[in-house]
Chain A
Amino acid sequence: MSWVRRREIPLLIFAITFIIGCFGYYIEHPAMGKIYSTLFDWVLLMSNLALGTGLIAMTLYHGKKIAKREKGYEMSFVVFGALILMFVSCYASPASREYLYAKIYTPASIAILCFTGFSEISGLYRAFRVRSVEAFFLALAGFILLMHFAPVYGFFIPGVEKVASWLLDNPAMGASRGIVIGVAIGTIAIAIRVLLGYEKAYTG
């Protein structure tokens, strides 16, 4: 096995960054502070590089698709066209970049989101079907919160706001805290398993 494919390398990187990150947070020492700060610089640098890597990967992927005339290759031309157009507009004219972003990209994104919104509403309709006692309580709580988010009900039925606030402040918050604590405990467990080399899902 090539040394770059060895699992020990990502594990070692994880271990070093974990220990610096963990101790840097708790320990106050000039040397530790400097290492902690340098680590941040590296991560920021790598995040910037990752954007570049993403661009290369995307170009290779779509380039290959066009070269092999794979299914839907026509759309890859659209990707390249949009990429070049956005890149050129950034340097040629900020006004055209704003136009592309505000008048084309933003409405297109909102339109796709709204399209999924229809599915979401029909999903809610199915989710609130009272099949059991638990489903009844889910539907009831959902109903009260729907009224809370439709401001007209809060105005005409003041009690709705109070009940919805109680639901959010008490049962929902209690459950939220339970989940937050559970996830925090799970995160420590995963971190330790990764540190010991038992958790390998993230390396494939």
Chain B
Amino acid sequence: MIKGELASTFVVLLVFIALYLYCIYRAVRGKPPMIRKVPGLDAMEEAIGRAVEMGRPIYYSTGVGSLDGGDMPMTMAGMTLLGYSASLAASRGAELRYIAAVPQLVPIAEDMLRTAYRDAYKPEQITFVPSQVALMSTIVGTYEREKPAANFLLGALYWETVVIAEAGARAGAMQVGGTGRLYQVPFVVALCDYSLIGEELLAAGAYVSREPSQLGSILASDIIRFITIALIIIYVIGSLFGVDASTILRF
């Protein structure tokens, strides 16, 4: 019934799913795990305060990452943080604007900004551009003209990162960037004032919402990560002694 070559991965997947379900159940039942401080996320509040003082807008972008495949977790984390920063900005009286390059994200962002700003919401707060190139050129022009006080660049970022972060730096904006996409991480670190690297971004939703289910899934992810590291170490030690330890997972 189960395809022979995929049996072991199927079993591993089921074990991981069970672990997630257990950790989420445990957290929801009142034992949520603790999560360490993430300076990049605390800096968002500071950046919003700066925008209020300066009377200039905050710009937010999730890059060109969509809601599918490997981009999905990062984009979802980016959208969660959009909701968080929008409600924070709305409560302090700052204007947050979102530039989207993925059509599916527009209605989600609209809903989030509408919820945050209520009657103060303006449709111009969301700009949709149809491609990566258009996103980059729109941002370069807009930042040059409007000189935003803060620039949030959080999501599955592609090579628009350098252009957007450079435009933000030139405009003098306080920048918070974050992605899990490897080859953009160095640019986020080098160009932004605060950065969220890899798992920090994925944990952001849990960090800002403190929702037990999210905290529970982070605990499960960490346990799986430790299991993976242990397997890698076993494999490396096995290889040193001429033993193919990868057979552990072949059945």
Residues of A within 8 A of B (CB): 22, 25-29, 54, 109, 112-113, 115-116, 119-120, 122-124, 126-129, 134-135, 138, 142, 172, 175-176, 179-190, 192-193, 196, 198-199, 201-204
Contact = CB atoms under 8 A, between A and B. Distances in A.
Given A119-B163, A186-B221, A27 B3 contact: yes
Contacts of A190: 72-73, 76
Interface in B25-75: 67, 70, 72-74
Nearest to A54: B103
A124 B184 CA distance: 12
Question: Which 4 A-B pairs rank lowest in CB-CB distance, beginning with the nearest?
Answer: A204-B111, A123-B166, A198-B213, A127-B190
A26 B6 contact: yes
Interface residues of B, number: 61
A189 B187 contact: no
B107 A122 contact: no
B3 A201 contact: no
Contact of B162 (A29, A123, A129): A123
11 contacts: A28-B1, A28-B2, A28-B3, A119-B166, A120-B159, A127-B162, A183-B180, A185-B224, A187-B72, A198-B217, A202-B76
B198 A116 contact: no
Contacts of A54: 103
Contact of A201 (B2, B80, B134, B190): B80
Contact of B163 (A116, A135, A184): A116
**Does more than half of chain A's interface fall in helix, strand or loop, or is it mixed?**
helix
Interface string B215-231: 00110110011001000
B198 A182 contact: yes
B199 interface: yes
Contacts of B10: 26
B246 interface: no
B136 A183 contact: no
B88 interface: no
B83 A116 contact: no
Interface of B: 1-3, 6, 9-10, 13, 16-17, 20-21, 24, 67, 70, 72-74, 76, 79-80, 83, 103, 107-108, 110-112, 133-134, 136-137, 140, 159, 162-163, 165-167, 169, 180-182, 186-187, 189-191, 198-199, 202, 205, 211, 213-214, 217-218, 220-221, 224-225, 228
**Does more than half of chain B's interface fall in helix, strand or loop, or is it mixed?**
helix
B73 A135 contact: no
A201 B217 contact: no
A109 B134 CA distance: 9
A184 B70 CA distance: 7
Contact of B166 (A26, A122, A176): A122
Given A182-B198, A185-B225, A192-B20, A27 B70 contact: no
Contact of A202 (B9, B74, B79): B79
Given A28-B2, A29-B1, A182-B225, A120 B166 contact: yes
B228 A181 contact: yes
Contacts of B205: 201
Contacts of B186: 127, 138, 142
Contact of A198 (B70, B180, B181, B211): B211
B108 A201 contact: yes
Given A181-B225, A199-B76, 7 more contacts: A26-B9, A119-B140, A119-B163, A129-B190, A182-B202, A189-B20, A189-B73
